[in-house]
Structure formats: structure tokens, C-alpha cells
Chain A
Amino acid sequence: MGRPGAVIEVDRNTPPVMFHFGEGVRLEKLPLGSRIVYPPDPLEPIAHPERAVKRALAKPLEDDPLKSLLRRGMKLTIAFDDLSLPLPPMAAPDVRQLVMEQVIDMAAEAGVEDIHLIAALGLHRRMTADEVRHIVGDRIFATFWPDRLYQHDGEDPEANVYIGKTSQGEEVTLHKRAAESDLVIYVNLTLVPMDGGHKSMATGLASFRSIRAHHNAKTLLASRSYMNPPDSALHHSCARQGQLIEDTVRVFHIETTVNNHAFPAIANFMQKRETDWTPQDQAMFLAMKQMTDIAPPAFKRNVFHAMRAPYGMTAVNAGQVDAVHEKTLEAVRNQIAVTVEGQTDIVTLGVPYLGPYNVNAPMNPILVACMGLGYLFNFYRGKPVLRKGGVLVLTHPCRYEFDSVQHPSYIDYFDEVLADTTDPIEIEKKYELRFAEDPWFRQLYRKSHAYHGIHPHYAWIWAAHAMDHAGDIIIVGGERDVVHRLGFKCATTLEDAFEMAEQTVGRHPSVTHLRMPPIMLCDVE
């Protein structure tokens, strides 16, 4: 049993704390009396994951055993999450591979001839063949790619069908193959409470028409936070859509969770609390710091993106979606929940090199906002760690750096839209359809490896709640012009940032540093 998460108060003997700084790291001394919140240690993984999967499929929750659902002559579709999860990508074998191999074994035994595997990527980018291979494994790839193993295309008019409206008027579309199947098996990996459940099908196999129902500024602003589904308007909307999907097609959900062992041995110091650092950890830190200070961004990126996380499976549940997801959320919370007492005037966060939308690409400024304000800020339950009107301090180099293959629409969004306004609601009114329906972005999404044209907007509104909540947002170490374009303030050092923050929160503010990743969920009392 690993140690639970911890909140420590900085005193004279507290070592400095490591801040993620994009493709780099910083070591900072926090003011005396500040709090540092650490995630729990990784839970012990299941010793025999294959056996656990077998058990879950044989004894599903509120559903029949999978074997009894498979029969000769049926149309079977297996959908699975794309590479946006987990982060960093998991060292092979991916847990989805372990699950899918057993499902396919059962389908083969039952003589199911008509089987398709679809990467449920929603409006994310198409993966390369190697990326798909990494998720599904060599055996599945060799057997099914590319005819029966392929990726969802939310813009293919032939491949998506409209299946109706929810009670709240949200339109729902679904991948045609899934809609026409006798059984859809969804294989999920839940890393954070936002993932999984009804959201898997409602976003993964949907089109823009369907996704815009909940991916909008109004819904996101009403999600406090979307890392806690009961308080999330986003999840309520997905649940309504998901219910409609479940009424249309028979779905069998398989959800897995992993521990938070996010960094391989070479970067073990990132996994550990600073108080636990050994001389080797200190040496590794110094070596990495010097390397990242000197090396060009492309080199650092290659090094960082080559890292594979030694995650271990902590739970696998199968069956009816709500029953399964409840268990999944419980397992996730066991791993990442930390109790934090009270809110604070200033919250500091180190933004790492990787978020869900920049696997094998640089984290562009919009994604920095998405990661820092969207994801990291929202890792709370109850209320944010930052008090309303407080100051959020992020560390990231925040360069004008875009991957034109993966993020072409992000470039236009940054150059044109954010130059006009940074208000998510106003942007939505003026630019949503322009980006969503742009034929060139659509073409790149369908045929290249680009995120959908609307995706930068989604990344931006992901930060809407934090922007609304915080009195000021300061990015330490960012490029001044870029940070100003985002509507934030820029500081050179953390001390400068605290100095600037005093103008908003007054003298002697309380400071809390959230030492992520590895990720954690703050239960704020």
C-alpha cells in the first residue's frame, strides 16, 4: 500500500520544490508557510492483469457474461480510446491491448465473422499506424489493420448517422458501423475522473454536430469541475446522449484504470516528493536540468516524448455503463484523491511537456492554457484550491511553437481569434462555425493527422472556468508576446510572479503548490 497524498507546509528545512516547465524542469523555493500538495504514491498494480480481465468479462456488473452475448453471424464492433490516454503513453503492453485480445479470443471462439475495431477518437487527430499498433499490439494490428481496424472519422457523411435528440434537445450522432452493430464493446482506459462512462461513446464515436452540444463555453462554465462528474454539466449532457445511444445499440463497457506511476526509472525523481530525493535523484535532476537548459527544443521533445510510463493496472470492470463507471471512478479516486483544507490566495502549478492533445508534438500556447487552466486547475472536487479572485501562477516556456501537421487550426486560432478577443463566449458566437466547417481543416482532419478545425476552441474553452474564477493568471518563464496574446501576465521568475500577485491578493497571501504530475484530485474541504 503506497502512501496517501500529503499536504506539507514549507519551513526552513523544506527542500525546494520541482516545477515542471514544459520540456524542462525548475527548482523553486516557496515562501515559508506555503503548502505543497503531493499526490499519493502509486498503488500496487494487479499482479495478473490478464486473469483480472478474464474474471471481469465472465462476471460483469449488471450484465450478462460477454461469452453469452457473442454468437455466430452477429455484427460486432469493438471501440477503444485513442492515444490521448494515458499520459505519457503506457509502456507496452497497453491495458487496452490486454482487454481486446481476450475479447477477440472470445469472439473467435464464438465464430463471430463480422468484427470491426474502431479507434474512438472523436475530433482528435488520426493516429499513425505505429501509434495504433502501440495501443492494440502487434497481433491485433497484423490481423485487422487496415480493413477491420481503423479510425473514426467524424466528418465522413457516409460513416455517421443521426440517431435522435435528448430530452434537452442535444443532437446525437454515432458511427454508422457502431449504430448498425448487434453489439458494441467499448474498451476504455480511465486515467482521470473526466474520462469514461457515457462520455466514451458520446464523444469518441460522434461528430461535431453531436459534440458541440456539450463542448461549449456555457456548459464548461457550469462544470465545477468536470473532473467530478456529479458536478459537471458536461457529464450530465454526455450521460443524456449516452443513454440515447444505449437505447439504440447494445453496448458492453469495459473500463480499466491504472496507477499513477507516470515516469520511467530515468525520470524517477519526477515521481518522488523532494523530501524523498536521494543523491541519485538530485544528480538526475541536475543532469536533466542542464540538458533541458542547453538542448534545442526539438531534441528535448524527442527525449521527453520517447518516455513510456510504467503504469500498472489497478482495476478492470465490465458490464453496464453506469455500474461499471461507478466502480471505475472509485478506483481512480483511490489512486489520486488528496484532502486539502481550505482554499488559498495563490496556486502555483508546473505545466509539463505533455497534455492529451500534443502527443509527439510541441505544446503550443493554446494547449498550455488548456493544460494548466483546463486540466490541472480542474483537478478538484467540491471547490477549487484557489479562492475566487485569487492568482494562478503557471510555469511554462510558452513559446510560439505549433506543429503544423497536428495543429494547423491552432495557428489561425492563435493568430486571428485570440488577437481579436479571448472571451470564450464571444469567440464561440463569432468563430465556432467558421473553424468547424472550414473545408481545409476538415480535409486535414480526415486525411492527415490534424486535430479537427474546432479543436483549438475546445482547448480554449476548457480553460474558461479557470479564467472566470481566477483574478489573475501569471505564466512564469513564458514568451511575453505569446503570454499577452493569451490574455495573461508574464513573469521572469517565481519571485516576480509573487510580487505581481500582491497587487491582486494583497500582502502576505497564502500559497499552495500543486505538485503535478503525477496527477491528483484535491478534495477541498
Chain B
Amino acid sequence: MPWYSGDGGLLKLTGAVGSVVTDVSRVRRGWRWSSPRPHTWPERGAVVPAPATDLGWARVEPVRTIRFLLQRGLLMPFTEVMAHPKVEGRELINELERPVIFAANHSSHADTSLVLHALPDRARERTVVAAAADYWFKRPLLGNVVSLFLNTFPFSRTGGAQGQLHSSSMLLKSGWNLVLFPEGSRSPDGRIQEFKPGVGHLANETGTPVVPLHIRGAHRIMPKGQKLPLPGAARVRIGKPMTREPKEGSREFTARIEKAVRALSEDAPQPDLQGSWIERWNASKPRDLPYD
């Protein structure tokens, strides 16, 4: 019997499987779970979560030791293999005298690992990461696991500034460095988005210096919407710690931080590529053209 006769064989089997699938699909559509929502709308259930916990357990022993082992044994080697991160400016934060806020651009879930990888050991062990409460802590199990690995704490993106300030400033005052992504969410195309004023506000209120960081390449490793990372090269460039100028407002300070991160994103002129586009073009010429 030919496979396409329609009277049996593979087609019949396919039909049987297909009918089950059709039923499942019908049920699924009945509740319209897959009905699309414009991306600009908030996620369903994206309300301000109650600050049930600030995950204090993640910052005490023996969890800190377990995290140290997990990071050293798993996270750092994995980051090294996937991204071969190149770190520039680490010497600027080797000897931090007091807690700082690390303000980095955000285009990927890989950013946090890259920032932690870039920090000196001493700084990393005393660093907490602000993670979006409405994203990471919607599911308590996920939030706790992530916290175990990365020392995250819930940071509300939708609540008022005072709420954010309280938990964050408590951490800063108790000696923890804080990693913040002032863009608020991951950039859809890898370009730096406008910074939200919270970082300047927090730094002003607590008098904490801000260290600008720029991460390049993370977007190619794991862009928004991608579930699994792909290997790719990344670079983390660390800037000089910045403090608030006298009479500088939160928004002005935020703008200055954003400018600093953008400045870090620019490539310093490379001696071999200096000059006009013609020189750059000729310098990048492949050695052996396949058609020559």
C-alpha cells in the first residue's frame, strides 16, 4: 500500500496522533492561554509583589560558602567557556574602601554572570544583585534558586522610589555592594536604553559611589527571548567610581552615570585602525580572498 493512499499506514497513525493534538489544541484555545498581548502591556500578574522576604537567608553562612563554591565551581567556569570575557579596568575597583553601586547596561540574562565574573574576589563576595521582583520572584522557587547562585534580592520596578530605596539602602549600609541595571529591563536590540533615575536617587540618598560598567557581547550570547545561551565573545569594561557633585540632583547624576556607561561602550582608538575609513577598510581586508 503506498504511503499516501490515505487508507492506512503512516497516514492513519498520523491521523490518530493529529486528532489528539486537535483536541488538546481546542482546549488550549478555549481558555485562550496563547492569546497574544502587545509587548508594551505589562505581563499578566505583573503587579507589585508583596515584599514577603528580602531573602536574608541568602546572605548568611553557610549559604555564602555554598554560593562561593557554586560560583567558583560552576558559574565562573561556565561563563568563561561561553563568553571568554575580557575585563578592562578591574584595577580601578581592586581596593574599594566602602560599598559601591555597580551600574551596568543590560541586554541579556548573561549580564549578571559577566559582571560577577569581572569583579575581584573580595568585591564579588560582598555583592548583591538587584533582580526584577516582578520577573524573577513571581515564582518563589525560581527566585530562591537564582538567589542562591547570584545573591539576588527582589528589586521592584513598578513600586515607588521609597520602597526601592529602603531595602537597597539597608543593604548598602550593611556593607554590601549592589549591582543595578538602571535601564530597568533588557534592551531588545543590544543598544543602551535610557537610564531610569532610581540609580542616581539611591546613590544620592545613601551617599554611595557608583561604578559604571559596560558589557559588550552579552546580547549576542543570550538576547531577550532566547532560552539558552550561545557561545560568543564578551567584554566588560569597568569605569572609575563616581560620586555625586555638590548640588547635583538625582536625575543629573543619573544622566552623568548613563553618559559614563555610554563612554565606556565606545572603543578607544586602536593604533592599527586609526585614520580614515579607507585605512580601516584596508586594514580589515581578509588575507586570502577566496576568489583570488
Question: What interface size band does chain B fall in?
Answer: 35 or more
Q: How far is A108 from B285 in the complex, measured between Cα atoms in Å?
A: 12
Within 8 A of B (CB), among A320-364: 362
- Contact present for A294 and B14 (CB under 8 Å): no
Select B284's contact among A15, A50, A139, A290, beta carbons within 8 Å: A139
Q: Assuming A48-B291, A129-B191, A294-B21, is B277 touching A282 (CB within 8 A)?
A: no
Q: Using Cβ atoms and an 8 Å threshold, which residues of chain A touch B189?
A: 128-130, 449
- Contact present for B38 and A411 (CB under 8 Å): yes
Q: How far is A60 from B290 in the complex, measured between Cα atoms in Å?
A: 24
Q: How far is A401 from B37 in the complex, measured between Cα atoms in Å?
A: 8
- Contact present for B36 and A293 (CB under 8 Å): no
- Contact present for A108 and B281 (CB under 8 Å): yes
Q: Using Cβ atoms and an 8 Å threshold, which residues of chain A touch B4?
A: 15-16, 27, 274
Q: Assuming A115-B277, A289-B14, is B39 touching A405 (CB within 8 A)?
A: yes
The verdict on B174 contacting chain A, using a C-beta distance below 8 Å, is no
Select A143's contact among B38, B41, B284, B286, beta carbons within 8 Å: B284
The verdict on A45 contacting chain B, using a C-beta distance below 8 Å, is no
Which residue of the partner chain A has the closest CB to B36? A401
The verdict on B282 contacting chain A, using a C-beta distance below 8 Å, is yes
- Contact present for A400 and B278 (CB under 8 Å): no
Q: How far is A29 from B11 in the complex, measured between Cα atoms in Å?
A: 12
Q: Using Cβ atoms and an 8 Å threshold, which residues of chain A touch B291?
A: 48, 50-51
- Contact present for B10 and A108 (CB under 8 Å): no
Q: How far is A294 from B282 in the complex, measured between Cα atoms in Å?
A: 51
Within 8 A of A (CB), among B5-53: 6, 10-11, 14, 17-18, 21, 24-25, 34-41
Q: How far is A104 from B282 in the complex, measured between Cα atoms in Å?
A: 10
Q: Using Cβ atoms and an 8 Å threshold, which residues of chain A touch B286?
A: 139
Q: Using Cβ atoms and an 8 Å threshold, which residues of chain B touch A413?
A: none
Complex A-B, nearest 6 residue pairs according to Cβ-Cβ distance, in ascending order = A404-B38, A15-B4, A50-B291, A128-B189, A293-B21, A108-B278
New A-B pairs, 9, CB < 8 Å, besides A139-B281, A404-B37, A404-B39? A108-B278, A113-B277, A130-B220, A282-B3, A282-B10, A286-B14, A290-B14, A290-B21, A411-B38
Give the B-binding residues of A (Cβ under 8 A).
13, 15-16, 27, 29, 48, 50-51, 104-105, 108, 111, 113, 115, 128-130, 139, 142-144, 148, 274, 282, 286, 289-290, 293-294, 296-297, 362, 399-405, 408, 411, 449
Question: Please, could you name 15 A-B residue pairs with CB atoms under 8 Å apart, sorted by A?
Answer: A13-B2, A15-B2, A48-B291, A51-B291, A105-B281, A113-B276, A129-B189, A139-B286, A286-B14, A297-B34, A399-B36, A400-B35, A402-B38, A404-B37, A449-B189
